[in-house]
Chains A and B, each alone.
Chain A
Amino acid sequence: MGSSSSRRRSSSLVTKVPKPTIDDRLDQGSATNYNSNWVNYKGAWVIHIVLIAALRLIFHAIPSVSRELAWTLTNLTYMAGSFIMFHWVTGTPFEFNGGAYDRLTMWEQLDEGNQYTPARKYLLVLPIILFLMSTHYTHYNGWMFLVNIWALFMVLIPKLPAVHRKRIFGIQKLSLRDDDNDSIPR
């Protein structure tokens, strides 16, 4: 009976993940989040260094890939991987918390959402250092610099505390149907 053509207009460039309901908070508090708590285990910081070194060696071993291109590809691959892992995939790969984390990226699940924890600081600083190393070893080539800094911003901006539980430019934007359902008062 209602007009099917009506549609909510996108209100802003930035959309917010709704605040957790009391039920979500209880579900999140009643069980440990095994999807994200591994970042505080032994070796969770070292593995990043190992991966970057492995990527560097792999790209350097490919024929006709210059040293500068190898560093750029290392940077891009690591940035893409960490973006997908921490900022694109939402939810958990198992049903332990009653769906309480379905809207949250792994970065937002980290340390129960607390900011400025050691793991968050490390994961924020590491891409910056990798970017600086890539820039240095590409001898400050202008075009590679632009590509590298674009990749850095793609993974750095979602990590900022100011952007917690926010989606910029529709990246990992919630579906319209979910938004409509949430606007109904409970």
Chain B
Amino acid sequence: MAQADFVSPTSIDVSEKKEVEFHKKVDHVENPPLSTESAKLEAEEVAAEKLNSEHLLENEFAPITDPTHRRVSKNPDGAELFQFEDEPSYYYVVATYLTYLVLIIIGHVRDFFGKRFHKDDYKYLKDNDGYAPLYNHFDNFYVRRLQHRINDCFSRPTMGVPGRVIRLMNRYSTDSNSTFKLTGDTSLALNVSSYNYLGFAQSHGPCATKVEEAMQKYGLSTCSSNAICGTYGLHKEVEELTANFVGKPAALVFSQGFSTNATVFSTLMCPGSLIISDELNHTSIRFGARLSGANIRVYKHNDMTDLERVLREVISQGQPRTHRPYSKILVVIEGLYSMEGNFCDLPKVVELKNRYKFYLFIDEAHSIGAIGPRGGGICDYFGISTDHVDILMGTFTKSFGAAGGYISATPNIINKLRVTNPGYVYAESMSPAVLAQIKSSFLEIMDNSPTSAGLERIERLAFNSRYIRLGLKRLGFIIFGNDDSPVVPLLLYNPGKINAFSHEMLKRGIAVVVVGYPACPLLTSRVRFCFSASHNKADMDYFLRACDEVGEKLQLKFSTGAAGEDVGKTNVEKMKKNQGWFKPPRWKIEDVLKHGVHDALTQ
């Protein structure tokens, strides 16, 4: 039984449909000359298997349709980082506030009456038969009254490998999203929701082959922690590869990404030291910082002026109450912020580090593999030596199609972590199968030959990111983040549009991830696209057409033109020329597609 292939929905016009072909037609397999019955059956089986295999390959990684659709991911030399956050007019902002106000009032009214007339539904919020409440009723208010309404947009069950396309299990709810029932069938959707930056989410190919071999050789698990007998030669190899790739002398590999951050600060920091954290750092960083017992200060997101203000204050004033100096100060930033799509301003941070002499920790969970001329992350992107960064952290879950995380630093830091870090000493060590995936993807990426498959992935991702961002900006959407960022947040604002956008895109066969308050600030509800090297131009053109259609239907084209309709530097020049007045970009989809490739490659 051949697996059903992804076919574009019929909502697209027939004349446009031929542009949206996601797979090549498989050539007809000729029958062998000897036409006996058994030979015919065998030939049919071979043909079916071949067809199935090719469809799987294309569903996970689309071949590039034009070899020029590649570009180098690099910050222009000497160019200042350009990351502008546009805002809609006051009409949309006020409407968003009013929507939240109405939702909150309705929620409280329903709680008021529900607690009196449907007491059973609120048992878990009250003392009940000697048991304490599971939740404080107000702590649970948001989940109970606001998130519940759009629960069908979250945690959709999927099947198979989330590569170029993703297979969703269809479900429905008969009790207002309290429970869901699966219908038994599935939908195939274009996958712009997974952090599959380099497209290594594949069940076939050289990486998958190496993983199978490693399972045969080493087994599924080490069944032990690193500190006892769970460290194989393969672990050492991957640690060396990681250190070489990142550009640091030594590295340490953890079996889980979140716990890498959650446990590392308790080893490095102590009471009497200080962690200065970006406002939008990941929960794992906050969790780890909190566990460490060190003092914590937060500065405004990517605001170097505020960071300098905090540094001057903490250095001059010292610790609370006693005013003694901090024993050490660690500034923690991320290379690529997963909900904002922007980069840290690394040149300015390094400048501040040279002046104020703090330690610098960069979380490259998203940026490693995703940016930089050779995928080396934020330092590679800016051309800054990794010697300026004390600790580089990253994960293997995004660009490498694996799991786990790493810490890379100087050998003395790594050796201390090796014997004191609870995430290393006590945790189960990484599975050999995952290590094999990491190793083979690393070797593919680090291949520097002109025909390197790894280099193709990196440059395809850079082109795809630029192409999509440029297209969405020109259509009129507010897009946050750097123009080279593969994370593309499209702003929705009104919470009523969160699930509407998700549903409309799913109707068109595109799976997206929507984000609402409080996972992001109150006003800026958004949908977070994430393109990868596994998409080609046909995929992106189909996606842009769908966004244009849905954007018109839901009134999502808020762009005022302040962020421009071109890439960074061109924007700045236009802004100066126009004396601060901007024409809102509202291109037609045909014009966007016509100029997209050329402008993405030349600007």
User: Is B136 a contact partner of A102 (Cβ separation < 8 A)?
Assistant: yes
User: Is A47 a contact partner of B290 (Cβ separation < 8 A)?
Assistant: no
Residues of B contacting A91 with CB < 8 Å?
136, 138-139
Q: Mark B75-95, 1 if CB is under 8 A from A, else 0.
A: 000000000000100100110
- CB of B219 closer than 8 Å to a CB of A: no
Residues of A contacting B139 with CB < 8 Å?
91-95, 99
User: Is B93 a contact partner of A94 (Cβ separation < 8 A)?
Assistant: no
User: Is B521 a contact partner of A34 (Cβ separation < 8 A)?
Assistant: yes
* Closest-CB distance, A181 to chain B (whole angstroms): 15
User: Is A26 a contact partner of B290 (Cβ separation < 8 A)?
Assistant: yes
Known: A29-B297, A47-B97, A93-B138. A34 touches B523 (CB 8 A): no
Residues of A contacting B90 with CB < 8 Å?
42-43, 46
Instruction: Name B's interface SS.
Output: mixed
Residues of A contacting B523 with CB < 8 Å?
38, 41-43
Taken together as a complex, chains A and B put the C-alpha atoms of A43 and B522 apart, in Å, by 11
- CB of A31 closer than 8 Å to a CB of B: yes
Taken together as a complex, chains A and B put the C-alpha atoms of A135 and B140 apart, in Å, by 41
Known: A29-B297, A30-B296, A89-B138. A96 touches B93 (CB 8 A): no
User: Is B97 a contact partner of A26 (Cβ separation < 8 A)?
Assistant: no
- CB of A66 closer than 8 Å to a CB of B: no
Nearest B residue to A84, CB-CB: B108
Residues of B contacting A68 with CB < 8 Å?
none
Taken together as a complex, chains A and B put the C-alpha atoms of A102 and B138 apart, in Å, by 10
Taken together as a complex, chains A and B put the C-alpha atoms of A46 and B95 apart, in Å, by 11
Nearest A residue to B279, CB-CB: A32
User: Is B93 a contact partner of A42 (Cβ separation < 8 A)?
Assistant: yes
Nearest B residue to A50, CB-CB: B94
Nearest B residue to A44, CB-CB: B97
- CB of A37 closer than 8 Å to a CB of B: yes
With an 8 Å Cβ cutoff, the count of chain A residues facing the other chain is 30
Q: Mark B313-338, 1 if CB is under 8 A from A, else 0.
A: 00000001000000000000000000
Residues of B contacting A32 with CB < 8 Å?
279-280, 298
With an 8 Å Cβ cutoff, the count of chain B residues facing the other chain is 32
> Within A45-62, which residues are at the interface with B (CB < 8 Å)?
46-47, 50-51
Residues of A contacting B296 with CB < 8 Å?
26, 29-30
Residues of B contacting A92 with CB < 8 Å?
138-139
* Closest-CB distance, A105 to chain B (whole angstroms): 12
User: Is A30 a contact partner of B290 (Cβ separation < 8 A)?
Assistant: yes
* Closest-CB distance, B591 to chain A (whole angstroms): 31
Known: A26-B295, A29-B298. A34 touches B518 (CB 8 A): yes
- CB of B419 closer than 8 Å to a CB of A: no
User: Is B297 a contact partner of A43 (Cβ separation < 8 A)?
Assistant: no
User: Is A31 a contact partner of B286 (Cβ separation < 8 A)?
Assistant: yes
Specify which of B143, B320, B518, B523 lies most central, judged by the most chain A CB atoms within 10 Å of its CB. B518
Nearest B residue to A29, CB-CB: B296
* Closest-CB distance, A122 to chain B (whole angstroms): 15
Specify which of A31, A38, A44 lies most central, judged by the most chain B CB atoms within 10 Å of its CB. A31
Residues of A contacting B370 with CB < 8 Å?
none
User: Is A47 a contact partner of B518 (Cβ separation < 8 A)?
Assistant: no
> Within A79-106, which residues are at the interface with B (CB < 8 Å)?
89-96, 98-99, 102
- CB of B142 closer than 8 Å to a CB of A: yes
* Closest-CB distance, A22 to chain B (whole angstroms): 8
Residues of B contacting A102 with CB < 8 Å?
136
- Which one, A25, A29, A34, A50, contacts B517 given CB within 8 A? A34
Taken together as a complex, chains A and B put the C-alpha atoms of A50 and B521 apart, in Å, by 21
Residues of A contacting B293 with CB < 8 Å?
26
Residues of A contacting B142 with CB < 8 Å?
93-94
Known: A30-B290, A93-B139, A94-B142. A47 touches B94 (CB 8 A): yes
- CB of B289 closer than 8 Å to a CB of A: yes
- CB of B220 closer than 8 Å to a CB of A: no
Nearest A residue to B523, CB-CB: A41
Taken together as a complex, chains A and B put the C-alpha atoms of A42 and B139 apart, in Å, by 26
Specify which of A30, A38, A98 lies most central, judged by the most chain B CB atoms within 10 Å of its CB. A30
Nearest A residue to B144, CB-CB: A93
30 A-B pairs, CB-CB below 8 angstroms? Answer: A25-B320, A26-B295, A29-B295, A29-B297, A29-B298, A30-B277, A30-B286, A30-B289, A30-B296, A32-B279, A32-B298, A41-B521, A41-B522, A42-B87, A42-B93, A43-B523, A46-B93, A46-B94, A47-B98, A50-B98, A91-B136, A93-B138, A93-B140, A93-B141, A94-B141, A94-B142, A94-B143, A94-B518, A95-B139, A98-B290
Closest 8 CB pairs of A and B: A43-B93, A93-B141, A38-B522, A29-B296, A34-B518, A93-B142, A47-B97, A94-B142
Apart from A29-B296, A90-B138, A94-B518, list 19 A-B contacts with CB within 8 A: A25-B320, A26-B293, A29-B297, A38-B522, A41-B522, A41-B523, A43-B93, A43-B94, A43-B96, A46-B90, A47-B94, A50-B94, A51-B101, A91-B136, A93-B138, A93-B140, A96-B518, A99-B139, A102-B136
